[in-house]
Structure 1
Amino acid sequence: MPHDTPTDPGCAFGQHDHAHCAGAVLERAAAEAERRGLRFTPVRKRVLEILLEAHRAMGAYEVLDRLAAEGFGNQPPVAYRALEFLVEAGLAHRVQRLNAFAACMHPGEAHAPVFLICRECDTVVEAEAAPLRQALDLVAGELAFTVERASFEALGLCPDCRAKAEASA
């Protein structure tokens, strides 16, 4: 059975209705921006759409190339400002390991994400990491430290790439 909801953990790694997945996230992101009174300009919306086109993180210059090809301008600040807005608004995440950005699959929801990054195909899946965050908060609390923001990233192989590696071994 295909996965077709953006909150389904198999959504990115499995077969699913990607148009529905991306459309549902974009709809929730637009609603969240409106609820918070944020300006969801055409450039910002298009950058989020670009990030939602595939379950992978994209660098700012890759986003800029797409924007330039579509007539949105070719100066780096165009992409960087839109990406900054999306991250600050909680509509996208910065994936540090890849120096890239990925659409937030849970806009408007309080969540602690972990990014599962396939080292072969660069697929990036945002999964819930509440137990990791709780453990971090516990350790930090023992040191009288308050965690304000945390990012968890794990590098490995997605099911398809793992199967290919096992088949060639």
Structure 2
Amino acid sequence: MEVVGPQGQLTVKFPAYIVTQYDEPDRKVTISVADPEIKHQKSMWGTMRSHVQNSVSGVSEGHICILRLVGVGYRATIEDKAITKKPEYEGQKFVSLKLGFAHPVELGVPKGVKATVPQPTRILLEGPEKHDITQFAADIRKWRRPEPYKGKGIFVNDETIRLKAKKIK
């Protein structure tokens, strides 16, 4: 099934047991399964509906993921060239992170994802494909996960952590 909108075009692939019907006048997609008695088919019913919904909202509105860098000296920039990496495609941008290491961390922005840095401690990821955006956010977060004692790290969207008390003997 193909979904087309102002943000782009996405294709959703269905397993053979998923049946789709498109109602042209109402502009509705109905998703059902071949045999609702089989547990696996029944469980994939809602999952495939969710994939279609994410694709439709992605091409019509787009998906956004905001990353917050919390820590002294943690900052991000968007670069046209990287020192340590080669571009995978023409015109690829790179996210350069300073996270307390002796070297900057450089990550190539995947195709279909637009990365901007409105503030040095914020990264804004936008695009039509939700999976690509959240996967790239997870790759960035992997470098400094939020830690519970000082509350430093890279936070994705509205993520919060409860701080632990110091261990006193």
TM interval, shorter chain, is under 0.3
Q: Give the structure with higher Rg (CA).
A: 2
Which structure has the highest strand share of the two?
2
Which structure has the highest helix share of the two?
1
* TM-score, normalising length: structure 2: 0.24
* TM-score, normalising length: structure 1: 0.24
